Structure 1
C-alpha cells in the first residue's frame, strides 16, 4: 500500500493541511486492486478502463479540495437600496460523500443571513455549499463549514443554515432504511440569540409567510 500511496507529508495552510498527492497512475492502480479485492478481474474487457473512469470521476466528486470558499464569497454588492432584512436561498441541491464509507449523501441546503453593509450574489451561496460538499464529509461538519464561511466572509448580523439529506450509507448498507432524512442546523448571531428569528427562518424555509 505504501508503494501506491507514497508519502503523505503535511503542509500548513489556513484552511486545512495540504498533503502530497499520489500520481494518477498510482490512483488507477489502487482502483485495480479494489476491483480484484471485490472478486472481479481487472483485466476483463468490461472493467479494463474502469480505473481511469473512477479517477476522472473522483476529480469531479472531490473538486472542493481545490476550491476556496473565500474566493467564492469575496465580492459583495452594497447598492441594495438600504435593504437590511433577511435573505434566504432555499432548496439548494447538493451531493457529498460520507467520509466513513465514501458513499453519497444527497439533499438540500437552506441558507439565510441578515446583511450589514452589502449582499453576496445569490448563486454564491449555492457555490459555497458545493465547495464544502465536494469533499469527504459528515453532514454535521458540512453544516458548520458553510455557516462559518458565510459568517467570516460577510460579517452579517446573523447566519442560519439547515441541511436535510438522505445518506446512502444508511439506505444501501447497514440497517438499509430507505427514505430516512437527516436534518442539521447551525445558527449564528441574531439567529442563535433570538429564538423568534430561528422560528422565522424555519417558517420561511418551509414556504409559509412570516
Structure 2
C-alpha cells in the first residue's frame, strides 16, 4: 500500500529575532555585492566598493525595531493627573517603514488616542512605540495592530484608537505607479469600538476641526 502523504502545514506566526539564525555582517555585505552584480553593475568599481558596508549600516538603523521591546517604554505611568479622565490624543506622529513584500518604503503619520483608566504614559513613549514597530519589515495593517496591542496591553485604557495614513512606494515607484495615493488603517478598542460617536470625535480631532 502506498504511503499516505500528509500535507505540509505552514506556520505564519512571526518568530522573534532571538529565535532566528542571524547571518553575520560579512554575509550581509556579500549579499549586497551579489545584488549589485545582479543589477548589471560592477561591485568593485570605485563608487560601489564601499556600498555593501554602507547599505548594511543603513539597514541596521532602518530595521532596528527588531531589537527593541515596546512594552519596556510603556512601563512607567503617571497617576497624578489632577483627575483628568478625558481623551488623550497624540496627532501626526511621523514614521517610515518598509513593505515586507517589496522592501520598499512606506511613509506617513500615526494618530493615537486613548481614555486613561489608572494613569497616563509619557507622550513621547507613544511615538517611541510607533518607531519600534515601524522599523521592521511590515504591512500597514500589521503595524496598526501591533501598535494597538502594545498600548492596550500596557495601559488597559477605557478605549484606544489608532489610525495610520501612509503612502507606499511599492505603488508609486513600481507596479501601478500611482503617486499621491494614501492608505488609511484604523483599530479601535473599548469605548471607541463600542460607540460610533467616539470614533467620530477621534476623526474630527485628528483632522484638526475640534473646537
Decide: shared fold, TM above 0.5. yes
Q: Does 1:90 align with 2:91?
A: yes
Shift in Å at residue 18 of structure 1?
2.2
In 1, the alpha carbon distance for the partners of 2:144 and 2:19 equals 22
In 2, the alpha carbon distance for the partners of 1:69 and 1:196 equals 30
CA distance change for structure 1 residues 14 and 84 in 2, over 3 Å: closer, same or farther? farther
Shift in Å at residue 146 of structure 1?
0.4
Alignment partner, residue 145 of structure 2: 144
Structure 2, unaligned stretches of length 5 or more?
1-13
In 1, the alpha carbon distance for the partners of 2:190 and 2:46 equals 57
Summarize deviations over 1:12-68 as a string: whole Å, max 9, x none: x99676212100000000000000001000101100000000000000000000000
In 2, the alpha carbon distance for the partners of 1:30 and 1:92 equals 34
Alignment partner, residue 110 of structure 1: 111
Alignment partner, residue 120 of structure 1: 121
Shift in Å at residue 209 of structure 1?
1.7
Shift in Å at residue 72 of structure 1?
1.0
- With normalisation by structure 1, the TM-score equals 0.92
- With normalisation by structure 2, the TM-score equals 0.91
| Residue correspondences, number | 199
Larger radius of gyration: 2
Paired residues for 1:178-197 under 5 Å: 178-197=179-198
In 2, the alpha carbon distance for the partners of 1:37 and 1:14 equals 30
Alignment partner, residue 7 of structure 1: none
Paired residues for 1:11-30 under 5 Å: 18-30=19-31
Q: Does 1:46 align with 2:47?
A: yes
2:17–2:67 Cα contact (<8 Å) kept = no
Alignment partner, residue 3 of structure 2: none
RMSD between superposed Cα atoms in Å: 1.6
Say which SS state the counterpart of residue 54 (structure 2) adopts: helix
Structure 1, unaligned stretches of length 5 or more?
1-12
CA distance change for structure 1 residues 196 and 170 in 2, over 3 Å: closer, same or farther? same
Shift in Å at residue 188 of structure 1?
0.5
